[in-house]
Structure 1
Amino acid sequence: MKLFDVYPLYDVTPVSAKGIEVWDDKGQKYLDFYGGHAVISIGHTHPHYVKRIEDQLEKIAFYSNSVQNPVQEALAEKLGKASGCENYTLFMCNSGAEANENALKMASFHTGKAKVIAFRNSFHGRTSAAVATTDNPKINAPINLQQEVTFLPLNDFDAFEKAISSEGYCAVILEAIQGVGGLDEPTTEFYQFIAEKCKENGVVLIADEVQSGYGRSGKFFAFQHHGIQPDIISIAKGMGNGFPVGGILIHESFQASYGLLGTTFGGNHLACAASLAVLEVLEDENLVDNAAALGLYFRTKAAAVPEIIRVKGRGLMIGLEFDFEVADLRKKLIYDHYMFTGSANNKKLLRFLPALNITKEHIDLFFEALQKALK
Structure 2
Amino acid sequence: MGLFNVYPLFPIEITRGEGSYVYDTAGTRYLDLYGGHAVISIGHSHPRYVQRITEQVQRLGFYSNSIQNPLQEELAVKVGELSGRPEWDLFLCNSGAEANENALKLASFHTGRKKVISFTNGFHGRTSLAVAVTDNPGIVAPVNATDNALILPFNDEEALEMAFANDEIAAVIIEGIQGVGGIFLPDESFMKKIRSLCDIYGTVFIADSVQCGYGRSGRFFSQDYYGVEADLYTMAKGMGNGFPIGGVLISPKFEAKFGMLGTTFGGNHLACAAALAVAEVIQEEHLIENAGAIGDYLMGELAGISAVQEVRGKGLMIGIDLEYPAADLRKKLLFDHHIFTGSASRKNTIRLLPALNLSKEDADHFLEVFKSAAG
Measured after TM superposition, the shift of residue 300 of structure 1 is 2.3
User: In structure 2, how many angstroms separate the alpha carbons of the residues matched to 1:244 and 1:231?
Assistant: 24
Gaps of 5+ in 2: none
CA distance in 1: counterparts of 2:154 and 2:197, whole angstroms: 15
Could you say which residue in structure 1 is the equivalent of 2:109? 109
Secondary structure at the aligned position of 1:145 is classed as coil
Mapped partners of 1:112, 1:213: distance in 2? 28
Contact 2:52 2:277 in 1 (8 A): yes
Q: Which amino acid aligns with 1:22?
A: V
Cα offset, 1:305, TM superposition = 1.0
Aligned counterpart, 1:78: 78
Shift of residue 220, structure 1, vs aligned partner: 0.3
Q: What residue is the counterpart of 2:246 in the other structure?
A: 246
Give the partner amino acid of 1:182.
Answer: G
Number of the residue aligned with 2:44: 44
Q: Note the aligned Cα RMSD (angstroms).
A: 0.8
Which residue of structure 1 aligns with residue 134 of structure 2?
Answer: 134
Give the whole-Å Cα distance in 2 for the aligned partners of 1:374 and 1:251: 45
Q: Which residue of 1 aligns with 2:56?
A: 56
Q: 2:223 is matched with which residue?
A: 223
Q: Which AA in structure 2 matches 1:335? A: F
Query: What SS does structure 2 have at the residue aligned with 1:159?
Result: helix
Counterpart AA for 2:233: I
Which residue identity lines up with residue 40 of structure 2 in the other structure? I
Identify the residue that residue 308 of structure 1 maps to in structure 2. Answer: 308
Contact in 2 for aligned 1:129/1:147 (Cα 8 Å): no
Unaligned 5+ residue runs, structure 1?
Answer: none
1:336-351 superposed matches below 5 A = 336-351=336-351
Which amino acid counterpart does residue 70 of structure 2 have in structure 1? P
1:66-86 CA distances to partner (integer Å, 9 max, x unpaired)?
001001100001110111122
Query: How far apart are residue 374 of structure 1 and its match?
Result: 2.0
User: Using the alignment, how far apart are the partners of 1:164 and 1:60 within structure 2?
Assistant: 49
C-alpha separation in 2, matches of 1:323 and 1:112: 48
The DSSP-based 3-state class of the residue aligned with 2:15 is strand
1:147, 1:208 → 2: CA distance? 21
Contact 1:165 1:201 in 2 (8 A): no
What secondary structure sits across from 1:305 in the alignment? coil
Residues in 2 aligned to 1:365 and 1:224: alpha-carbon distance in whole angstroms: 31
Q: Could you tell me whether the CA contact under 8 Å between 2:121 and 2:154 is conserved in 1?
A: no
How far is the alpha carbon of 1:147 from its aligned partner?
5.1
TM-score when normalising by structure 2: 0.99
Q: Tell me if structure 2 keeps the 8 A contact 1:325–1:349.
A: yes
User: Which range moved further: 62-71 or 292-301?
Assistant: 292-301
Structure 1 length-normalised TM = 0.99
The residue number in structure 1 matching 2:26 is 26
Percent identical residues: 55
Partner of 1:274: 274
Greater Cα offset, 146-155 or 75-84 = 146-155
The ranges of structure 1 where at least 4 consecutive aligned residues each deviate by more than 3 angstroms after the TM superposition are none
User: What is the CA distance between 1:362 and its match in structure 2?
Assistant: 0.6
What residue identity is the alignment partner of 1:120? T
Q: State the number of aligned residues.
A: 375
Distance 1:84 1:328 in 2: 42
Look up the match of 2:181.
181
